[in-house]
A and B are shown apart, each in its own frame.
Chain A
């Protein structure tokens, strides 16, 4: 999406989502799984993954991998991101 296409829309950034707590479980899971290294892709990954979780779509590794494709991560190799997203979607605690 280009910025001009969001004209008039309400935009919530990762800073806003962090303050509101709407992605806090996922943020915790990302830290536990080290699902980020340089952190540059992380805001996009979090917001995309939260959308999938909220829609009830984070049902399998393939479903998560498919949904976050479109967001590049150059550091992690994606596996830890998938693990973090599934953990939150399945309501498990972090003591894997």
Chain B
């Protein structure tokens, strides 16, 4: 640890304590401040006509009748909107070969997925806009569609973009060590499996929404926004509306869930911004659930073949995978749709000490909704593939899967460790996490229980997963590839005359507790009570410049900036106090909102008195003393491309072998997110994440017909986990602080989602093992798939 123990071990420290969230009070009172709660004077409402075809030429769009409908102010087709918004291309220059076609805000000439916006109506109410939308006449010529990702690269499959020779968006190959020699070694057993991961989506309870408000007096566009990355949005909207960045303000107040859904460029939202400027009236757009399913980014949609080589003694030597993923017709702007595949290649088998690794990933275009980064990007796929093969390998050599993991994870004393494929890991704890997990769940006891159950025809399974996660990314993640995505974040702390601290931060709050974490850290760093801290986030006008919240980075990066800025402010305060008290700054400290004498703890001057002296009675200070009482510090991760974390997870479940239904009996997580700032908030992040992972593993799927019609576009068709199906989830920690920061915090927000499907897959297959079932390798694991594996249907 680079910091003296004393700071983090101070009595009454907020860091490490399960304090409750001050900003949650208004939410339990129903006084949240979401976008749709706002009504602005002269505000209009937008509705969109969306393509009913997966692939169709737009021969004509006639909005004349719609324009005359009651309440309608304006109606636009894609051609008209394109005069005000330039198209974007979702590529990153550092992902070599990644390509995508220019994407217009509203479809022009060709619609490429069912649900793509084609025309826009602006009216006095959403109801009038929707009514008028039905009067837009569009002449489509249906085109042959390319929906099935597995056929996207076939010769006879239509190519979606004329400018490309195929539907290939990106391909990457990794080759490390002598893969063939490892697999051809006569002493190894090779196991092989192909896994399928269905598409699912975020289903944020608050749908995507915004109000765009234009002030012609200043040529100033304000976007009341529900999202995660205000500064990124400001940069890209300015670029494509041809405005200056400083003339656009994004401001997010309460956000009703995001999970990665609300961090991308959506044509409908940009159209709302452009038209608000044209009409000089505020426009609100709130997607309805049907629109959300068709146009919020989807995630996953992978087919991964893999094989693993293991010796009879239980040494895993090599891994090879081939990932194919369908991303819809465009790579999403500005983060691209290649990152998930890239993560699968980077992370599959990552917990293990391998001699050789080969991977190929191919990202293909298809006529379905766009796919992009959603919570735990790539991790659920990578972990499920790697962990399924580990279980297969354990079966093949007749070894307990817990033993095989213990023998093969990278040892805790091996760090810093560079994998055979060149990934650099530091400060991980697979061995400790695995061991703690087995104790926490009573692995031996559950195995016994499982055995007893089998004798009575009860089929229970135990699934284990060891995980590696990417958190706290540095600039190499996006910024280096040309995206206006900041990997650094800033925090400003200001002491006000009343003795309160105002904290403005560029990380954002979606309910995960970022503002509470900031308050805890600043309170400790300066020496004030948490209830004297006011936090503001989410506003490009008032916050320092930064990336926002994604990739499990808010606490690790924003928290470090908070610590550094708090410490800097404290140094300023002590400097002023030394002048006022005619003491040495080194003899003073701050405790409980007052400057105290280090030796005696005697209160020397209240912070409010000190601040009032500076602000109101400067005449009492020497002329050369011009205190600022405000400090800003920024932080980004250096030395490593990101801060890896690790964890271990287990699922215990029962399969009804007659109906195929799965009952989850227990779930355990041991996570190493470095220093835990707030154990309650981090545990709740993990639990919520696990349930989202379980959703993908067992329930959630965006199902398309062969011709690209989304069949699951309502909450009746798309299954989101509800309370009754979910288990209690026990969470424990190993704390290995990251050496990349003083605070030592790594990310934790995506861990649960990343590992849960792996544990569920393995548990289901473990349950069915005595029945000679085929291994289930496709998620969601529906009752039908269970019965098929059992040969019953």
Q: Is B140 an interface residue (CB 8 A)?
A: no
Give complex CA distance A33, B681 in Å: 9
Contacts of A46 in B (CB 8 A): 28
Contacts of A18 in B (CB 8 A): 28-31
Whole-angstrom distance from the CB of B397 to the nearest CB of chain A?
A: 36
Give complex CA distance A80, B206 in Å: 21
A31 touches B21 (CB 8 A): yes
Contact with A along B684-721 (1 / 0, CB 8 A): 10011111100000000000000000000001000010
Whole-angstrom distance from the CB of A93 to the nearest CB of chain B?
A: 15
Q: A18-B30, A40-B34 are in contact. Are A74 and B728 (CB under 8 A)?
A: no
Stretch at the interface among B64-72, B107-115, B249-257, B445-453: B249-257
A72 touches B690 (CB 8 A): no
Q: A32-B20, A41-B205, A72-B722 are in contact. Are A79 and B728 (CB under 8 A)?
A: yes
A77 touches B28 (CB 8 A): no
A69 touches B722 (CB 8 A): yes
Q: Is A2 an interface residue (CB 8 A)?
A: no
Q: Is A81 an interface residue (CB 8 A)?
A: yes
Give complex CA distance A77, B722 in Å: 8
Stretch at the interface among B171-179, B456-464, B507-515: B507-515
Whole-angstrom distance from the CB of A39 to the nearest CB of chain B?
A: 3
Q: Is B203 an interface residue (CB 8 A)?
A: yes
- Residue of A15, A42, A80 touching B684 (CB-CB under 8 A): A80
Q: Is B204 an interface residue (CB 8 A)?
A: yes
A78 touches B726 (CB 8 A): yes
Give complex CA distance A70, B691 in Å: 16
Q: Is B435 an interface residue (CB 8 A)?
A: no
- Residue of A31, A41, A64 touching B25 (CB-CB under 8 A): A31
Whole-angstrom distance from the CB of A43 to the nearest CB of chain B?
A: 5
Q: Is A5 an interface residue (CB 8 A)?
A: no
Contacts of A81 in B (CB 8 A): 723
A78 touches B691 (CB 8 A): yes
Contacts of A36 in B (CB 8 A): 24, 27-28, 511
- Residue of A13, A31, A62 touching B20 (CB-CB under 8 A): A31
Give complex CA distance A6, B588 in Å: 64
Interface of A, secondary structure class, is helix
| Minimum CB distance partner of B692 in chain A | A74
Contacts of B726 in A (CB 8 A): 65, 77-79
B684 touches A74 (CB 8 A): no
Interface centre among B203, B687, B688 (most CB of A within 10 A): B688
Q: Is B598 an interface residue (CB 8 A)?
A: no
Contacts of B203 in A (CB 8 A): 72, 74
Contacts of B616 in A (CB 8 A): none
Interface centre among A17, A33, A76, A78 (most CB of B within 10 A): A78
Contact with B along A13-57 (1 / 0, CB 8 A): 111011000000001001111101111111100100000000000
| Minimum CB distance partner of B27 in chain A | A39
- Residue of A15, A34, A70, A72 touching B30 (CB-CB under 8 A): A15
A40 touches B29 (CB 8 A): no
Whole-angstrom distance from the CB of B685 to the nearest CB of chain A?
A: 8
Contacts of B24 in A (CB 8 A): 30-31, 34, 36, 39
Q: Is B40 an interface residue (CB 8 A)?
A: no
- Residue of A17, A33, A40, A68 touching B723 (CB-CB under 8 A): A68
A27 touches B29 (CB 8 A): yes
Whole-angstrom distance from the CB of A87 to the nearest CB of chain B?
A: 14
- Residue of A40, A64, A68 touching B32 (CB-CB under 8 A): A40
B29 touches A14 (CB 8 A): yes
Q: A15-B29, A39-B254 are in contact. Are A34 and B724 (CB under 8 A)?
A: no
Whole-angstrom distance from the CB of A96 to the nearest CB of chain B?
A: 10
Give complex CA distance A82, B722 in Å: 12
Give complex CA distance A37, B683 in Å: 12
Give complex CA distance A55, B758 in Å: 40
Give complex CA distance A69, B206 in Å: 18
Contacts of B692 in A (CB 8 A): 74
Give complex CA distance A85, B317 in Å: 50
A43 touches B30 (CB 8 A): yes
Contacts of A64 in B (CB 8 A): 723
Q: A74-B257, A75-B688 are in contact. Are A38 and B510 (CB under 8 A)?
A: yes
**How many residues of chain B have a CB within 8 Å of chain A?**
44
Interface of B, secondary structure class, is loop
- Residue of A15, A30, A42, A72 touching B720 (CB-CB under 8 A): A72
Interface centre among B28, B692, B722, B729 (most CB of A within 10 A): B28
Whole-angstrom distance from the CB of A53 to the nearest CB of chain B?
A: 15
B723 touches A78 (CB 8 A): yes
Whole-angstrom distance from the CB of A68 to the nearest CB of chain B?
A: 5
Whole-angstrom distance from the CB of A75 to the nearest CB of chain B?
A: 5
A75 touches B723 (CB 8 A): no
A37 touches B723 (CB 8 A): no
Whole-angstrom distance from the CB of A37 to the nearest CB of chain B?
A: 3
Whole-angstrom distance from the CB of A42 to the nearest CB of chain B?
A: 6
Give complex CA distance A37, B689 in Å: 12
Interface centre among A62, A65, A79, A82 (most CB of B within 10 A): A79
Whole-angstrom distance from the CB of A79 to the nearest CB of chain B?
A: 6
Give complex CA distance A15, B30 in Å: 6
Contacts of B687 in A (CB 8 A): 76-77, 79-80
| Minimum CB distance partner of A17 in chain B | B30
Q: Is B259 an interface residue (CB 8 A)?
A: yes
Which B253-295 residues sit within 8 Å CB-CB of chain A? 254-257, 259
A37 touches B684 (CB 8 A): yes
- Residue of B32, B684, B720 touching A39 (CB-CB under 8 A): B32
Q: A30-B28, A34-B681, A38-B257 are in contact. Are A75 and B511 (CB under 8 A)?
A: yes
Interface centre among B255, B687, B690, B752 (most CB of A within 10 A): B687
Contacts of B25 in A (CB 8 A): 31
Interface centre among A30, A64, A75 (most CB of B within 10 A): A75
Give complex CA distance A33, B20 in Å: 8
A79 touches B206 (CB 8 A): no
- Residue of A17, A65, A77, A80 touching B724 (CB-CB under 8 A): A65
Contacts of B681 in A (CB 8 A): 34
| Minimum CB distance partner of B690 in chain A | A77
Contact with A along B717-739 (1 / 0, CB 8 A): 00010111110110000000000
Q: Is B626 an interface residue (CB 8 A)?
A: no
Give complex CA distance A17, B31 in Å: 12
B723 touches A38 (CB 8 A): no
Give complex CA distance A32, B18 in Å: 9
Q: Is B680 an interface residue (CB 8 A)?
A: yes
Contacts of A66 in B (CB 8 A): 723-724
Give complex CA distance A73, B687 in Å: 12
Interface centre among A30, A38, A72, A76 (most CB of B within 10 A): A38
A38 touches B724 (CB 8 A): no
Give complex CA distance A37, B259 in Å: 12
| Minimum CB distance partner of B752 in chain A | A77
Contacts of B254 in A (CB 8 A): 38-39
Contacts of A33 in B (CB 8 A): 680
Known: A76-B684, A80-B684. 12 other contacts (CB 8 A): A18-B30, A34-B20, A40-B256, A71-B722, A71-B723, A72-B203, A73-B723, A74-B204, A75-B257, A75-B511, A76-B688, A76-B691
Instruction: Give chain B's interface residues, CB within 8 Å of chain A.
Output: 20-21, 24-25, 27-32, 34, 202-206, 254-257, 259, 510-513, 680-681, 684, 687-692, 715, 720, 722-726, 728-729, 752
7 smallest beta-carbon distances between A and B, as pairs = A39-B27, A14-B30, A38-B511, A37-B511, A40-B256, A77-B691, A77-B687
Instruction: Give chain A's interface residues, CB within 8 Å of chain B.
Output: 13-15, 17-18, 27, 30-34, 36-43, 46, 61-62, 64-66, 68-82
Chain A to chain B contacts (Cβ below 8 Å), 26 pairs:
A14-B29, A15-B31, A18-B30, A31-B28, A34-B21, A34-B24, A38-B205, A38-B206, A38-B257, A39-B24, A39-B254, A40-B32, A40-B205, A40-B206, A42-B30, A64-B723, A65-B724, A69-B723, A72-B205, A72-B720, A74-B204, A74-B692, A75-B511, A77-B726, A77-B729, A78-B722
